[in-house]
Structure 1
Amino acid sequence: MSRYYVNGIVVQRRRDEKYQGIDSGIDYDAWYLNYIYEKDNELVRGYYKYVDISEGSFEIIEACINNQFIKKYILRSNKLNVDIRLVLCVTTLSFPQYNASNLELEFLGYDYAYPGGIYYSAIYNDIIYDRIKEFHNIKLNKNGLFDSEEELDAFIQKREDLKKVYKKGMFESGVFVKYKLYEIDIESFLNNCCDD
């Protein structure tokens, strides 16, 4: 078993699809305001201050630990009438670290994705998109994720084995991280984490 750390929160537009993991998808659902507003907008500047702090390092999860920034993101999304969700990222990387002890959480499952940017997920792109025939019989939970680390590890091993068989370029070869994902109840977040 790997050691996991509670890294922080990613704000996403809610998707009405089977996959509920960390990948931003083609619509850039994670930190979506970055694709709506100009760079001088307060929330876009906040993203670069509180989230996009990796500076190219693959040892940092691009998740927010600043509750006031997340609250502003929630309030702006409400004004825009955009249905969002808060995803708590628990990964094998130790930075940043976040205290989620007061939050109501729903376990979503295990994902295998980039530590930031568009959070490219091997599960989303290799299994959900049905690109690799050897993955057709893999069973995922109702959120399009794995229920256990053992299932995730078996997928990772099979993927590594297939990378040796398939032509180069068939599999995304970036730096992937194991994620244990939870959806945070927004009301519990606002009530427990956002004292003014």
Structure 2
Amino acid sequence: MSEIELYSNGILLRTADKIYGNYLGVEGDCWTIDEDTEGIEQQEGDYLNNYCSENITLSWTDDNVVDVSCNVDFTNRYINAYIKANIQFEVLFCKTNRQLPSYNLDIEEQGNFKYIGFDYAFSGGSFYSSIFSDLYSNRLPGLFDIKLNEYGLINSEKDLIDFVRRREKLSMKDKEGMFEKGLFTIYKLWRYVGEFPINLG
């Protein structure tokens, strides 16, 4: 039985950057299209950016919100802009311990989404990830033995809970500023592996 109550939130779009290597979690440049993006019309970039500001990137106003999309039509429109702008990207479906937004979708029944693991990160902005920073790119003392899977994520809920508890204890003793402080969110992630546009049955 799960120790963590997770809510189905929605889809996150982030650019694919070589600096992240095999890590496929949430940290990165997310929802980056605006009116100055090369390759798309200024009016389209302005619309996409404004829609995100009004409907998606709201975590700065509410600690219970994750900056993801529940609107598959808008998500596909955004993906089309990424393709036109020749920007490589990842499509991730998120379940988290934050309640909003709420997306009524049984992700396990969606054949085009592949489970890739757990992340522990901020709920918006650059989605700073302690998995990426503390384990993937720079193993911090006291966490050397925690294993990551092929996607640079923690594979099971049990191991994620162990990491969170150990990190919190180490962070409380941290006098050198090695551990980023803040309100972290637990993510259970699936990666879209199908064709575009996304079709959720």
Task: Specify if TM > 0.5.
Answer: yes
CA distance in 2, matches of 1:188, 1:55: 30
Measured after TM superposition, the shift of residue 170 of structure 1 is 2.1
Give how far 1:126 is off. 0.9
Q: Contact 1:50 / 1:66 at 8 angstroms: preserved in 2?
A: no
TM-score (norm 2): 0.84
- Residues 1:66 and 2:71 are matched in the alignment: yes
2:35 and 2:46 in contact (8 A); partners too: no
Q: Distance in 2 between matches of 1:64 and 1:100?
A: 13
Tell me the TM-score normalised to structure 1 length. 0.86
Answer yes or no: is the 8 Å Cα contact 1:86–1:186 preserved in 2.
Answer: no
Counterpart in the other structure of 1:78: 83
Q: CA deviation at 1:34?
A: 4.5
Residue in structure 1 matched with residue 31 of structure 2 by the alignment: 31
Query: How high is the sequence identity, in percent, across the aligned residues?
Result: 30
The residue correspondences of 1:9-158 to structure 2 (distance < 5 A) are 9-16=11-18, 17-24=21-28, 28=29, 30-34=30-34, 37=37, 41-101=46-106, 103=110, 104-158=112-166
* Count of matched residue positions in the alignment of Structure 1 and Structure 2: 189
Q: Counterpart of 1:31 in structure 2: which amino acid? A: W
Q: Which residue identity lines up with residue 66 of structure 1 in the other structure?
A: N
Q: In structure 1, which of residues 180, 189, 193 is the aligned counterpart of residue 188 of structure 2?
A: 180
- Matches of 1:187 and 1:5 in 2, distance apart? 26
1:101-122 deviation per Cα after TM superposition (whole angstroms, max 9, x unaligned): 4732101100111111111111
C-alpha displacement of 1:96? 0.7
Range moving further from structure 2, 136-145 or 32-41: 32-41
Unaligned runs of 5+ residues in structure 2 are none
